Structure 1
Amino acid sequence: MKKRQGWLFFIIFLLTLSVYLLINYPLQLGLDLQGGSQLTLQIIKDEGKVTTDELEAVNSVIDKRVNNLGVSESNLQTLGGDQLILELPGEQNPLVASRVLGKTALLEFRTQKEGTSTDLKILQVQRLSIKDLMEQYSFAKNSQNEDNFLNVIKDDLKKIEQELNYSSTSNDLYGKLIEIKKYVDNEITNLFIKTDLSGKDLINVGRRQEQTNSNWEVLLTFSNSGGEKFAEITKSIAGTNQLLAIILDGESISEASVGMQFASTGITGGSATISGNFSAENARELEVQLKGGSLPLPIEIVETNTIGALLGSKNILKSLYAAISGLIFVGIFMIFNYRILGFVSVLSLVLYGFFNLAIYSLIPVTLTLPGISGLILSIGMAVDANILIFERIREELYEGNTLTRSIDSGFQRANSSIVDGHITTLLSCFVLFLLGTNFVKGFAATLGIGVLISLFTSLNCSKTILRFFTTYQSLRQKNLYLPKNNF
């Protein structure tokens, strides 16, 4: 008797724990339920096919960048031999991710060539002018006097082209601005000489807001060898007119002088700061690119799909209606056909549902539509196990055994069949999870977890609840467990 009470209290404890987990650890939803973005990434290689090692290397860098972006439960998988599919649940603006993912993130430290100070100052002024024109363009596109503003921008751009002695070839105004900006960035970069210090020498990247204003800066921490290189480089240009440029993907994002006080030792400590009048978003993007490392091969985003949050909500509602409807019909069938036994199976299924969802939130498991299908299918497995047990109990009652003995014997006789059936299903889930794609893995995961919990609820919870019911004399009548036409 104490053993039965122990199991009953243990089940109540598990139910309470499940409710606690579901309240404090919400279920994580996949792209098809939460909405978000899906990007198809094409790996570009000039000669030959993309090798398996190169594909895995690109996959690894992209995965790091996505993790640093902070997108929860993102999914990255290969497609063919040279493409990747990236899913970003909850991210409704794929442009944010594409700016970070598509760049190669090649970080270089260069020193200024001698005798280029005048040229650099002119180009820096032109760069600021172009940046200002690009901001004006964004404002003009949202203003009522768009044409007037755009005409002013065109005139200013022509002056810059004349000063640079360069003519853009793009047909639209924004394309011209981008082209001129790239030209100026390239010209500035050419005024600096490469050193042996690069992004490969970084061990950590961070960001913080500057104390004097609202701009942000990016913090770099070098390895031991990188710190020594940085000290030597800064020592060589300390107190001179030469600047140190930090260049990302061929674009100089910061040019800084090194004071005379560092002429003897250089800047030691193995760290540096990039201050480029960054906004919080720009600083975060740069941090993500540098943390993720450099892409071994460039990539191009060839397709972008966005699933709205509203569509995801509709999918959730449809899935919820389907699950509740299925449970109601199953419950009606079980109670109608098995009476008290059927009612016990319904309670067992309720426990099964809570335990399942609690495990999903604890691991956590990302729920997708195929994953919900696996959950619903595992409910069928749980019902099937109860039916096997209840039929064995009925057979024992038909043979004239007592109710208590029939329950014990029914569970014992059905035990091997239930275990064998669940093991074969688990093997199938293992193969699907090992070899399947993302959605197939989601289906296999939810089905596999459901099958394991089904073993516990059908063989332990159902028996504990049933034995608890039989402690009441009014519920020990055989006619409550067998069809009426048998009496």
Structure 2
Amino acid sequence: MKKVGKPVFFVVLILIAAFTALSFFGVSTAYGDNTHTYIKGVDDIRWGIDIRGGVDVTFTPPADYDASPEEMAAAESIIKVRMVSQNITDYETYVDDSKDRIIVRFPWKQGESDFNPEQAVKELGETALLTFREGNEYTGPVVIEGKHVTSARAVLNSQTNEPMVELNLNTEGAQLFSEATGRLVGQPISIWMDENRISSATVKTQIPNGVATISGGFDVKGAQDLAEKINAGALPFKLETENFSSISPTLGLGARDAMVTAGVIAFILVALFIILIYRMSGVVATIALVGQVAGMIACLTGFFAPFPSFTLTLPGIAGIILSIGMGVDANVITSERIKEELRNGKTLDGAIDSGFQRTFAAIFDGNITMVLVAIILMGAFGPPSSIFGTIFSPIFRWFGASATGAIYSFGYTLIVGVIFNFIMGVTASRLMLKSISKFKPFKKAWLYGGDK
């Protein structure tokens, strides 16, 4: 750090400016009606249902029924099939086996005006109608129904190691299936969930013993998914709605716009305040804060290739604002220390070095505390498949999957804010201050809080 040269300030400034522009505006090209996005910007942020409006519902079996994990997975499969049949493809489902709950969230469609959320939820929870039919059309004669299937599971062919689905039928189902497969050798039998075809297979030979296999082009996940869908049609219970809420898109977008406007105004006021009070240290702190905000936006849009885009909720926006406050706090602590060192008679270079060194421990401790809080929030209130839900599942499994995914978004923005606070508020600020203090017009101690 002692050998930081004059150009470093401009190098860091240009990097932050370029990173900010890319994070906010993205990069895309348009040819006619086709748009290709290379880097996503703020317009590509995925908004949570509390912002763009949507439905949040929790399903459970009847109170007197203890569902197995397999039955819960099958019930989730029903919901997924029905979501797609209603043209709802942007949805989230989580299964909490410990409390026999299925949490479902889906947003309003763009420009939606006549969608009935209560009716949609009712249809999602209805008992599935699974049928095996002759041919590939829903109008084909029914061979067997879901009540005839005792189980379905993904297995591997002992000879080819190919994934396939094994069906076990009850006595009545075995008789019906034997008669049908005897007549339909070389012809297809299709499988339907309600009025949605989920699979079709050609009969190779008569199946007399009630144990059948479905094969052909499956990977392991595909076989498991089909088995769960078939099991779903044999569920002995109807899903009940434990809680249900819907949010108007107008209300959500209004709250978002109000929070964003408040955040921008607060940022401008804070920037003016620290520049007036701390002069050059305040200018550098403001630049670092802009970089911190850009970093958080980048983490939401999927700017960094290994990390996918993230759904931003209203608490997530609050997390961004809180993280900015933490960044301001870190810069204020450092700037005050630099002022104190200058008034104690240290040179400008010495004051800057000492100011950052002596405040690092306090900044580090405060930020690590926030990281721990964020991890707890993400582990306790996030989906089990999330990174922290997976890593810390032994600790957080008693929470189960939560319907408060908005808190997970708060934890996420908080933790990325802390990371970029270290990158921008500590490292970049120090590089820029040490660099700009080498220019003759900016060597005056009073520009950093010292006496004139």
Report TM bin, short chain. 0.5 to 0.7
Matched residue type, 1:36: G
Equivalent residue, structure 2, for 1:200: 152
Q: 1:224 to 1:58 in 2, by over 3 A?
A: closer
Equivalent residue, structure 1, for 2:326: 381
Q: 1:59 to 1:288 in 2, by over 3 A?
A: closer
Matched residue type, 2:18: T
Within a 5 Å distance, the mapping from 1:330-479 to structure 2 comes to 330-362=270-302, 363=307, 364-436=309-381, 437-479=404-446
Q: 1:377 to 1:292 in 2, by over 3 A?
A: farther
Aligned residues: 373
Q: Which has the higher helix share?
A: 1
Q: Distance in 2 between matches of 1:381 and 1:317?
A: 22
Equivalent residue, structure 1, for 2:182: 236
Q: 1:11 to 1:341 in 2, by over 3 A?
A: closer
Q: Distance in 2 between matches of 1:326 and 1:378?
A: 13
* Aligned with 1:321 (options 246, 255, 261): 261
Uncovered stretches (5+) of structure 2, i.e. residues with no partner: 27-38, 156-161, 169-173, 218-225, 382-403
Q: Distance in 2 between matches of 1:412 and 1:67?
A: 55
SS of alignment partner, residue 152 of structure 2: helix
Q: 1:231 to 1:312 in 2, by over 3 A?
A: same
Uncovered stretches (5+) of structure 1, i.e. residues with no partner: 112-126, 129-184, 204-220, 273-286
Q: 1:19 to 1:290 in 2, by over 3 A?
A: farther
Contact 1:199–1:290 under 8 Å retained in 2: no
Post-superposition offset of 1:77? 7.0
Q: Distance in 2 between matches of 1:252 and 1:84?
A: 22
Q: Distance in 1 between matches of 2:368 and 2:94?
A: 30
Q: 1:53 to 1:390 in 2, by over 3 A?
A: same
Equivalent residue, structure 2, for 1:109: 132
Q: Deviations over 1:279-304 (max 9, x none)?
A: xxxxxxxx999489555742134665
Range with greater deviation from structure 2 (102-111 or 313-322): 102-111
Post-superposition offset of 1:308? 2.9
Contact 1:19–1:358 under 8 Å retained in 2: no
Matched residue type, 2:362: S
Matched residue type, 1:457: M
Q: Distance in 1 between matches of 2:336 and 2:104?
A: 49
Equivalent residue, structure 2, for 1:298: 238
Equivalent residue, structure 2, for 1:87: 105
Q: 1:354 to 1:73 in 2, by over 3 A?
A: farther
Equivalent residue, structure 2, for 1:29: 47
Q: Distance in 1 between matches of 2:165 and 2:354?
A: 71
Q: 1:72 to 1:462 in 2, by over 3 A?
A: farther
Equivalent residue, structure 1, for 2:388: none
SS of alignment partner, residue 246 of structure 2: strand
Range with greater deviation from structure 2 (300-309 or 192-201): 192-201
Q: Deviations over 1:370-401 (max 9, x none)?
A: 11111111111111111111111111111222
Q: Distance in 2 between matches of 1:37 and 1:288?
A: 28
Q: Distance in 1 between matches of 2:427 and 2:287?
A: 12
SS of alignment partner, residue 406 of structure 2: helix
Q: Distance in 2 between matches of 1:453 and 1:464?
A: 15
Matched residue type, 2:425: S
Q: Deviations over 1:308-349 (max 9, x none)?
A: 332232122101111111101211211121111111111111
Contact 1:40–1:86 under 8 Å retained in 2: yes
Matched residue type, 2:48: G
Q: Distance in 2 between matches of 1:370 and 1:324?
A: 16
Contact 1:29–1:367 under 8 Å retained in 2: yes
Q: Structure 1 length as normaliser, TM-score?
A: 0.61
Equivalent residue, structure 1, for 2:447: 480
Contact 2:77–2:228 under 8 Å retained in 1: no
Equivalent residue, structure 1, for 2:387: none
SS of alignment partner, residue 438 of structure 2: coil
Q: Let me know the Cα RMSD of the aligned residues.
A: 4.9
* Identity within the alignment, %: 26
Range with greater deviation from structure 2 (17-26 or 3-12): 3-12
Matched residue type, 2:50: D
Q: Distance in 1 between matches of 2:419 and 2:236?
A: 42
SS of alignment partner, residue 301 of structure 2: helix
Contact 1:107–1:199 under 8 Å retained in 2: no
Post-superposition offset of 1:98? 3.9
Q: Distance in 1 between matches of 2:6 and 2:124?
A: 58
Q: Structure 2 length as normaliser, TM-score?
A: 0.66
Within a 5 Å distance, the mapping from 1:88-237 to structure 2 comes to 88-91=106-109, 93=115, 94=117, 98=121, 101-105=124-128, 107-109=130-132, 200=152, 223=164, 225=166, 235-237=181-183
Q: Which has the larger radius of gyration?
A: 1
Q: 1:59 to 1:409 in 2, by over 3 A?
A: farther
Matched residue type, 2:435: F
Contact 1:199–1:293 under 8 Å retained in 2: no
* Aligned with 2:252 (options 301, 309, 312): 312
Q: 1:55 to 1:440 in 2, by over 3 A?
A: farther
Q: Distance in 2 between matches of 1:193 and 1:86?
A: 27
Within a 5 Å distance, the mapping from 1:268-283 to structure 2 comes to 270=215
Post-superposition offset of 1:66? 8.2
Q: Deviations over 1:53-108 (max 9, x none)?
A: 47854675467558867643636476994554422123453378547632444534
Q: Distance in 2 between matches of 1:90 and 1:373?
A: 23
